[in-house]
Structures are given as C-alpha cells and as structure tokens.
A and B are shown apart, each in its own frame.
Chain A
C-alpha cells in the first residue's frame, strides 16, 4: 500500500525553505579542500546515507547489496542507511538537521532541494574538484571499483546538477512522466490511439467518456458508477510541461518567477472546463491514477515512468483488491503534447549530494561510496526495479542491461512489459527532456504551479464562479501562499557564494554589536583620559 506522504508534506516545504533563506549564513562551497593524502585503511569511518525508495523492497535490496559490496572493498568504511519513501520527508529532515550540524554524509534528493541545502551551515560539498581528482575522482586510479568517468554520465542529466558551472550533485536515476492508457476504452469510444497524444485528443476522448454517464449514474463506457477519464498525478509537472510546450515562461535561473501569465490562465481555464464535466481529476483530489486505471475507471493516467510497475491489471504491484481489477489493454505514451512532431517532457529523478564535515577524510570516504552507487551493478539493479533509466552510458551499454531491455514481456515481474515500455520511452526521448531552473526557492515555484491546478479543480468541483476575478484572486493567493514575491533577489548566486544583502535581523544585530563596542570604547577612553577622583 502506498502512503499519502506527498499530500501533506509538500505544504511544509516552502515555508521551511524561506525561513532558512533568512536565518542562516552561507557556507561557501570552497570550504571543502581535497586532502593531500587519503588511506581508506587507516582509521574508521561511520557514514550515514539517507536513501529514497518508492516503497519497493527490490530497491531496498539493491541498496543493501551496494552497502555490503562497498564495505567488502573498504572494510574501514561503514555505511548506515536510513530509508525514506518521500523526497519531501528527506528535504524536511535535511533542513532541520542543517541547523544542528547533523546532516547525513550522503543523501538522495532533488536538485531543487539541494539548491536550498546550500544556504545552510554545514552545507553540501561541490563535486567538480572531487570528480576531476586523478586518484579518487570519477574513474580515478586509486579506486577499488570500476567507477564511471565524468564523460560516461549522460550530459543532459549531469547538467541538471550544475549551478553556475559547479557540480552540486550527481544524478542517480532518471525518469520522466508518461501517460498510461486504457486502449480498450479509447477504442470503445470510436477513437484510435495515436503514438503521440495531443492535449486536444486527450480532452476530446475524456469528454466523450464523461458524457457516457447515464441518468442512473452508471457510465455506459465502463458500466461502473465511477469513471475519471483523465487523472494527473503531479500537477506541478502538468503545468510546467504545458508551459514549456507552449513556449511560455515559467521561471529564470536568476529566480525570476514568470508562471503567472496569460498562457497559464488559458490552460487553467481549459482545466476548469474539463473538471466541471467530470473529464479531469488529480491524485490529490481523487487518489492514485494507477488504482483507477487498474479498476477500469480511468482512460489516461499520467504518472512517472518510475510508477510503471503499478500500472496494468497484471502489474507486479497493485493497491486495490483483486476483485476490483478489470483486465484491459494498456498503452504507454509520452505525456500529451501541443506539437506531436516535437514532443517535450520533463526529466526527473533522484540525485546524490554530499554534505560537508569537519574531517575532509570523512568527506572523501563518503565520496567513494557516492561514486560506488554509479557503478554498473547498482545502476542496472536499481533501474530494473521500476521504469528508471541508468544515468551512465556504460551501464546502458552493459550486456546485462541490453539483455534486460530485449527481454520485455518475458515475465510479469522483472521483465514486466509496461515497466520496460516506460523505460524505452525515456530512452527514446532523452533528447526531448528538459529541466526547470534550479535556485533557492525553485521548489516553491514548483509547488505554486501544482497549487494553481489543484485549486482550480477544487474550486470548480465546489461550484465556484470561474471568471476574471477568480483568476486574479487565485494568482494573488498562490503568490502570497508561497511568498513568491520575496524570492526576487534570492537566487542561486546566494548559494553559490556571491555577495548578497544581509537579512534585516542580521543587519540589526551587527549594528547593535557595533554600538556596544562603540560604548565600550567611549567608556575606556573616558576612563583613560578624564582625571580620576580617587577617594
């Protein structure tokens, strides 16, 4: 069973990130210095690794094996893993532990979140210098394992992990979103499923499906009381990808927030129309798209390729009781597009970051384990657990991996067809992926994008009047909720170490300290210079 983490944890993200913006001094990335000598057999290193899994025991098994194999190579380095099932929870815990200097050594996170970590004390270690080290860098000569070189990491995935040219993280796995389609229901409505979906097609079919609801409340299309033709899991991605496809602005790498624009309003207006007719809903409003899809209650379910093992009536992971599952023909397609000749989709997935510690040797030991997670066995092993893609070209060209891809459909577990279809989709469209600019506060902009869609859908369902006044109020409320106005001036340069104005509280404190020292000086001079009246 999946848990509703995502529904409540995201709400806390922004406030915490903004608080930190004002509360913490910066730790310049230059703080970490590569130690001149390192002997992993001298001394003992107890490292903490915060890992993310998709509530999937196969993934925890890959981590466990990675730790065992690494510790066999480096007997003096011990890895203690803490498992998370939600990126938001990791983010929250990192933020709180930054304040007490109790961060882990290695952590899986989103680049958006890592940009915020960089504003805290005990912040993360940039990796450009580490990666280039001839001994212990990527593919270095002193490593006891066969690590990939920097050139063997997919450059587009690597680019997501750079801030102003500096590597702040390394990609661990990559996925994208795709549309899982009940092909039988599409065809029952008289349509043919295209290779590339357009928004117009998805809306049209969804409307046709919603219109099959009879007076008795039963949909003639699926003969059930429930039919939500189009469900989107991550509505932040929905808006972000639509804007990208439309060539409309979202944000800049300098932290300028641009998503409150005309194209956003037009898209939200369309969503309002299709929500009102019952053609569209979201994960936050109704539940996991895959559950509805597997119950024959959804036609277009958009979710991560890393959720593929939950999709389909024969899926390895299912969250509904067997009696509710309705067999159907499943199609895997890219997310809906505006221009099917030039598909565009987001790149997402976990990255690995390294936290600074007083002992550079400990950081270097952590760096070794981080690199170990990029070796073929782990990359291939983890990618096989879901619709993930390895981030290294060497893992992708490894015969074990190519054999895996060639064995699609041979069984309903490791080679589950839908999972491999989702993987193939990303491999075929890697050049069509994009990422949004990463800066301190970019996670808030992302949350705002999702909230615009969620609130629109909720308002429609609750009978609100959707007019110009509604949009103005919605935009204003969401900007205020995520304090997006205050993001101006809080950009990556903060995290990257350039000068920025001090927060007002800090400035006040410094002025007070200055005044105290001035008073002490005056008192001292007065004592020295004025004649003393000894009694």
Chain B
C-alpha cells in the first residue's frame, strides 16, 4: 500500500498542476537538435518507424514499474508517450514544461498516434508550457484530428443528459463508482460530444473531477484538456469552468 501511495502521491503533485491551467511558451522551443525530427517529420513518419523527438512534458498520466505515460507538446504539435522506460527518480524530475528527448517507435492504437511502449527518455535543457488551443469550432470536423494530443479548450458547452437525468456517469455506461473515469456529454451547435475525466490523470481528489461531479444537466461550461483519441476524439479533460 505504501508503495502505491508513494506512486499516487508523486503523481498527484504533477496531476494537480496538470489539472489546473497552462502557462506560456518559448521562442526557441520549436528548435530541434541534430538528428531530431521536427513535428512535421514525426507526423509524416509511418507507423512502426523509429522516431527521435524533442518535446515538453505537459502532464503525467501514470508511472508504474519504471514505465511512464506522458502528455507532451512542442509549439508545432503534440506527442503522447505511452509507457516509456522511466525510472522513478527520472519521473520525479518531469515537471510541467520539462524538455525531454524521446527515442522509440511511432505506433497507432485505436486511432491514437503515439510513441510506443518501451521508448527511452532523456531530460534536456529547456522549458515550454503549451497554451490551450481554442478548438470549439473544430468539433465534429475532419480538422480536429490534426490537433491530436494537444492541449485544447472548448467554450460554451451545454451539459447534456447522460441518461436518467444524470450529468455524468462513472465509466462509460455507469458501471463504475467514485474514482472511476467520468464520462459526460456536452452539446455545442447541433453536435453532442463525450468528454472524459481520465482518473489516472486527474483522480477523484482533483478539482476537475469534483467539478464534473457537481455538474447539472443544462449547465454551460468551458472545458480544457488533452485531445486524446480512442476510436475517435476522446478528450481527457483537466479543467472545467462553470459559467
């Protein structure tokens, strides 16, 4: 339990930051070292191709047995790093904005493009925190996927009925309990979209988790989070503001 608690506690420090807001950027953040791909080159790389990228940690989702899952971004695009090799001491140093070099393979899992399990991470000099991209108008369009994994915001969303007058469900079908992922639907224009509070990223004690648990059908909200993909857009929401 102690071990688990330590993991949670370590992750919590970062999670709390991740579940807050975003800061500023750096003019040099898009520059790449020799032998490192630009975002455009990464984007164009085929699935299963080797990739070497420099990027900036925006949030940490989880760490377990020397494997870390990270939301990262540079000024040109975002990279989801899945289960990279990462000792605990290295993981603890990954604060928001930390520049890292990641060497691994590109892969696609259920529509999510990411750096595959087993990649290596090195910390480099540099800092960059992404500002959320206003993506409300992109909802329901083919352009949304171009911003996959980026920190995005959606404005003026109306909380919809998730069934039986509920504003949210624990798990996708309501089979969970407090602490499970939260699913809630919002409408904007003529479209209805499902947003998720990923419990590994923002747990039940986080502000956003509590905020979503407090939502009522019909509330108008702004939301911010990472544009994760699972068989379609599946934003991992880190901040909700009730209007």
Contacts and interface: CB of A to CB of B under 8 A. Distances in A.
Interface string B169-210: 001111111001101000000000000100000000000000
A203 to B, nearest CB: 21
Contacts, number: 90
Contacts of A16: 65
B149 interface: no
A451 to B, nearest CB: 11
Given A1-B172, A102-B1, A462 B64 contact: no
Given A9-B64, A11-B67, A83 B180 contact: yes
Nearest to B83: A8
B3 interface: yes
Contact of A286 (B109, B177, B232): B109
A85 B200 CA distance: 14
A99 B1 contact: yes
A402 interface: no
- Number of contact residues on B: which range applies? 35 or more
A60 B105 CA distance: 39
A96 B3 contact: yes
Contacts of B69: 8
Contact of B110 (A11, A288, A321): A288
Contact of B62 (A8, A321, A458): A8
A37 interface: no
Interface in B82-130: 82-83, 105, 107-111, 116-117
Given A12-B64, A96-B1, A60 B110 contact: no
Interface in A93-118: 93, 96-97, 99-100, 102
Contact of B175 (A15, A57, A96): A57
Nearest to B4: A96
Given A8-B69, A55-B175, A57-B173, A462 B1 contact: no
B48 interface: yes
B85 to A, nearest CB: 11
Contacts of A60: 175
Contacts of B3: 96
A133 B108 CA distance: 55
Contacts of B196: 1
A60 B171 CA distance: 12
Contact of A100 (B2, B48, B117): B2
A1 B64 contact: no
A82 B109 contact: no
Interface in B130-179: 171-177
A473 interface: no
A11 B1 contact: no
Given A2-B172, A286-B110, 7 more contacts: A1-B231, A11-B64, A11-B83, A60-B175, A92-B4, A287-B110, A320-B231
Closest 3 pairs (CB-CB, A-B): A287-B110, A57-B175, A12-B65
Interface of A: 1-4, 7-9, 11-12, 15-16, 53, 55-57, 59-60, 82-83, 85, 92-93, 96-97, 99-100, 102, 285-288, 291, 317, 319-321, 324, 458, 461-463
28 contacts: A1-B183, A1-B231, A1-B234, A2-B172, A3-B181, A8-B64, A9-B64, A11-B64, A11-B83, A15-B65, A53-B175, A55-B173, A56-B173, A56-B175, A57-B171, A57-B174, A83-B177, A85-B176, A97-B1, A99-B2, A285-B107, A286-B109, A286-B110, A324-B231, A458-B48, A458-B105, A462-B105, A463-B48
